[in-house]
Structure 1
Amino acid sequence: MAASTTKPTHPHGIAELCDDGARLYAIALRTGRIARADVEAAPCLIEFALLHPDPDAADWLRPVAPSAALAQHLHPIEREIQERRRHSLALAECFEPFMDISAQGPSTNHAITVLEGVNRINASLDLATAECRSEVLTVQPGGGRPEDILSRSLERGLSVVDRGIRIRTLYQHTARHSQSTLAYAERMAGDHVEIRTLEELIERLIVFDRTVAFIPAQDDRMVALELRHPGLVEYLAKVFEQLWTRAAPLLEEIKYEPTPDGISGVQRSIAQLLVEGHVDDSIARRLGMNVRTCRAHVAKLSATLGSTSRAQLGYLISRSGILDQDS
């Protein structure tokens, strides 16, 4: 059998467009077309239907308008949402007779329930979403979120908003650079939805009606805790409110106070975590960025303070006074 000459696809989805793809798509939009040979480094542009053949010249490609491309990729997500809603209604009808039996017996709610596995966690979240009546509070640490997670979040979010329920969500500042997150925010925009960002957040948290909360129980998020103890849930809601007052609306520009020696607000946060003894992986996770970006900030911080080693950097940070300023 002859070897296939088909070029391998890029290992990323449309929401994580590669650097070459983003650069070449931008060029095509600015100039109106781009040579087919120039996009060999980014076959994803054709796979994702961001470029199409020029009918007047076989060696050229024309860009698809971003609004049209976005609509094309959102369509299957919206269709999936409709199918899941129909499935939800069918499930509700199936379990309605058992709900009546449960209502006649003693309460089986537990203060803390351990949820193991993604399916069990999602099922409990879906149930809490269906039972929600007034408010949802969510904390989503990290940068941009994967497409499949955003799709499920969009499904849950729209089902809540359609019922007039208020949603408040906290992301980290790094999510401001994620096109998929911004597209999700645009789809969710409305009077009942508010999204803010903060430089550093606690772990993931979802609170429904201040009566039930969900938090991860493991770093891999394969085990979660469903909390129904009134004291625990109220405590987590108060933590959310404190973070919310410090956060900035997603679509507003973040203004940092001036810092000495050109050190940015992000680098000052990294400096604080370095002094506390955190390693690069831990710092990146807490600030919602990848490790490579974190190390680039550490290198800039070292160059600014004149450090030649990690141990010396901690000493110079302490002496510089940059941590004595208000963030």
Structure 2
Amino acid sequence: MAGHGTEQHPHGADRLCEAGDRVYSRAVRRGRVARTDAEPVPCLLELALLHPDPDDMDWLVPTSPQEVMTRLLRGLYDEVSASRRRMGSAVAAFEWYAGLGGPARGAAAGEGAAIRVLDGASRIQAALDAATEACTAEVLTVQPGGIRREHELSEGLHRALELRGRGVRMRDIYNHVARHGQGLLTYLELMGDAVEARTLDEVIDRLILFDRTVAFIPANTDRTMALELRHPALVSYLVTVFERLWRLAVPLTAPLPETRIEGISHREQSIAALLAEGHQDAVIAERLGISVRTCRAHIARLSETLGAASRTQLGVRIAQVGLDRPSGEADPPPVSLPAPGAGPDPVPSPAPAPGSGPVPGQGSPTAL
């Protein structure tokens, strides 16, 4: 009987046959169905959707839909887990086979290694360590974010010292705000003339280039994945990006350029330009490598200096004094600013934090 029913109704509990759907729906609505009504659809018993009523064996009661759903999901979870285990075994096996081949052979092998996805911190770190060991001449890095913590910089110090010992030169680009961190200054002092550092208001996302032959960039926002790039055209493009940023950047040993308006700091000028572009506080903070709280404190001081009582009025005043344009453009006619305390109340803002808050995930100059 059971075998015959299975042949008549080859399906699972997630996709009932038409007859089974009618009987099971009636059982759920009424609480039970007569056993004779379920005889044409033995699949309901085989799938444990119906079971005998202990008080009256001539009737069948339904298994609750919630219990059926839980059972199905548990089965799907087990299937997915098994598939992941098989996939992991396959990857491990073929990585071992790939290692038997030694260096890449021919154009096809080279193309396969041109872009490699590194999933997980351990794989990223292993690839960076291998590139560091193979590096012989130069490392170029772009390090976005805020002030570096000393312990984060020390994590990669051994690799940097190893590079210095082999005569490798390093050039690093940071956000301007990184100038205020003692950890970075200590790191540069230890490295001596092996490292040259410059800063910009805004930088691109993290980039590490070894010997202009291999590059590493993040592959997702939380930096748990990275791309290892060895395609000559891609690497050459990234080197060009770095060199152009380097020419625009200010050496760490040089002071930041003066702003066009007395009483407005370099950082406030950068914030003003981003406000004029319509960016929100969180976006501005991320691009400049500062905390949102610090960013809002600067906006409040900017509002007070320009005599603006609202964000709308602040935007107007920014345009009037020319802070909405790059510093290289011609300045507008001078505008008299209100004396301190003489203008309207500044835009309400939280109190400034004691220094720029560090951005999570900032590591050493040789860590993504």
Q: Give the TM-score normalised by the residue count of structure 2.
A: 0.58
| Cα pair distance change 1:324/1:146, threshold 3 Å | closer
Task: For residue 227 of structure 2, give the secondary structure of its aligned residue in structure 1.
Answer: strand
| Aligned with residue 217 of structure 2, among 211, 215, 218 | 215
- Deviation string, structure 1 residues 238-262 (Cα, Å, up to 9, x no partner): 11111111222223332x2342252
Q: Which has the larger radius of gyration?
A: 2
State the partner residue of 2:205.
203
State the partner residue of 1:94.
none
Q: Is the 8 A contact 2:264 2:302 kept in 1?
A: yes
Q: Is the 8 A contact 1:212 1:228 kept in 2?
A: yes
Q: Is the 8 A contact 1:195 1:250 kept in 2?
A: yes
- Deviation string, structure 1 residues 82-141 (Cα, Å, up to 9, x no partner): xxxxxxxxxxxxxxxx97851385535522211121111111111111111211100111
Using CA pairs below 8 Å that are at least 6 residues apart, which structure has the higher relative contact order? 2
Q: Displacement of 1:175 after TM fit?
A: 1.2
| Matched AA of 2:306 | L
| Cα pair distance change 1:288/1:304, threshold 3 Å | same
- Deviation string, structure 1 residues 129-181 (Cα, Å, up to 9, x no partner): 11112111001111222344312321211111111111111112211111111
| Aligned with residue 242 of structure 1, among 226, 241, 244 | 244
| Matched AA of 2:244 | Q
Aligned residues with identical type, % of pairs:
54
Q: Is the 8 A contact 2:171 2:195 kept in 1?
A: yes
Q: Within 2, Cα distance between the matches of 1:308 and 1:152? A: 46
Q: Displacement of 1:189 after TM fit?
A: 1.1
Q: Which runs of 5+ in 1 are unaligned?
A: 1-97
Higher percent of residues as helix: 1
Q: How many correspondences in the alignment?
A: 228
| Cα pair distance change 1:111/1:104, threshold 3 Å | closer
- Deviation string, structure 1 residues 208-235 (Cα, Å, up to 9, x no partner): 1111111112221111111111111111
| Cα pair distance change 1:227/1:127, threshold 3 Å | same
Matched, 1:103 2:103: yes
| Matched AA of 1:244 | W
Matched, 1:284 2:299: no
Q: CA RMSD in A?
A: 2.1
| Cα pair distance change 1:189/1:272, threshold 3 Å | same
| Matched AA of 2:280 | V
Matched, 1:170 2:182: no
Matched, 1:160 2:163: yes
State the partner residue of 2:192.
189
| Cα pair distance change 1:225/1:104, threshold 3 Å | closer
> What pairs with 1:251-266 in structure 2 (closer than 5 Å)?
251-254=253-256, 256-266=257-267
Q: Give the TM-score normalised by the residue count of structure 1.
A: 0.65
State the partner residue of 1:296.
297
Q: Is the 8 A contact 1:261 1:304 kept in 2?
A: no
Q: Is the 8 A contact 2:276 2:324 kept in 1?
A: no
| Aligned with residue 150 of structure 1, among 149, 153, 171 | 153
